[in-house]
Amino acid sequence: MSPLRRLGLIAAVIGTVVLMSLTANAATATWTVMPDDQSATADGLSAVSCPSVSFCLALGSNGPEPESFQWNGSAWALSANIGQADESNLTGISCMSATYCLAVGWNFYHGSTAAAWLWNGSSWSNLTAYNPATKWNSLNAVKCVSASYCEAVGSYSKYEGFGQHALAEVWNGSTWTGQPVNGAKGPVPGVLDAVACASASRCEAVGGGLAAGWNGTKWSPQGLPTVNGGQLHGVSCYRTGCTSVGTSSSGGGIETLAETWNGARWALQSPVGSGNVTEAVNTIWSAVHCGRASNCTVVGEWDSASNNYTLAETWNGSKWVEDTTPSPGSGGHHLTALSCTPGTQVCTAVGWTGGTGPILAERN
């Protein structure tokens, strides 16, 4: 063998070993608890958005009072006051920058009406959301494509919380406008819990056993694979499609569920339960982010017979791999929301540890 060919073979072997190492490292992640100051206490955090690594806003509550928390690059701290005690429950947030975030939820003060708040970098201002019914309207999630285009989803009912129907509305930078979610028989029954948009003309929303798509003109319900007890909780869209995650009850306990949208139909991304933690009684996925179809991160919890623990997993295109996540303290733990900063591999998850105390935020 010639010296040049020998060197080429050695280089190829080294390159293969390095690639294998990088691939193995990329398959899993180690999450750490993010530091916070003494003001950052809450019953739990319900939503988070991180437009940059050094800035995030998260929503939570302390008793009946809604709160927002800000990450400044080194610690979480209580942010400017949002809403009033007993007034608002805010569960969705989307930030375009450190000076533009939109939060949504519902308002108890005048009955259950859809609520929206705008962050300008230093304070929150109340917006008048669209309400199709006199009472019992709620927004659960929001996604902004730009400061002048944000989609929010939830539900409404004209029968005091019963007979809920899917709700969608759009923010154009100054006003909210309702968008009917209709099927062949009129308004679509159900609750939409999550929304993701690849562009202003392509969004997907999911909740429970319901999925709906926005094509730039109208929302339309979409068929889902038949899964026993299937419940979709989170969705993420990318250039070629979308991935949604949730739970099923097809086995002895609660199992993981992941489905993909290819632009024409929904299908199982992997077998039901393929993300189950081996020693778990239940494995629950709450939120997802995908850079592409073969690279997704989910967060949630797994339950033993006596406690529950934080959970994060990574999809590498062929299987789900469990990440390492801390579960501080002795109470129950759950990661409810996830935000991955655009253009980076940095993801931030928030949730609760059971009872009022330090907020729970983790980063990979």
C-alpha distance from residue 68 to each of 35, 43, 78, 176 (Å):
16, 12, 6, 22
Quote the pLDDT of residue 164: 93
For the four alpha carbons of 18, 21, 22 and 23, in that order, the dihedral sign comes to positive
Would you list the DSSP string of 231-252? EEEEEEEETTEEEEEEEE-SSS
Q: What pLDDT score does 6 carry?
A: 33
pLDDT of amino acid 249 = 92
**pTM to 2 decimal places:** 0.90
Residue 171: predicted pLDDT: 98
- Is the CB of residue 329 less than 8 Å from the CB of residue 353? yes
pLDDT given at position 251: 66
Say what the pLDDT of residue 348 is: 98
Burial class (CB in 10 A: 0-12, 13-18, 19+), 342: exposed
For residue 80, the model assigns a pLDDT of 87
pLDDT the model gives residue 325: 96
Contacts of 151 (CB under 8 A, 6+ apart): 142, 143, 145, 168, 169, 170, 171, 195, 197, 203, 205, 214
* The pLDDT of residue 108: 77
- Yes or no: say if 269 and 227 are a contact pair by the CB < 8 Å rule: no
* Beta sheet of 176-179, edge-to-edge order: 137-146, 149-156, 165-171, 176-179
- In this structure, the number of other CB atoms found within 10 A of the CB of residue 236 comes to 24
Q: Which residues of the chain have pLDDT under 50?
A: 1-26
The span from the CA of 253 to the CA of 155, in Å, is: 28
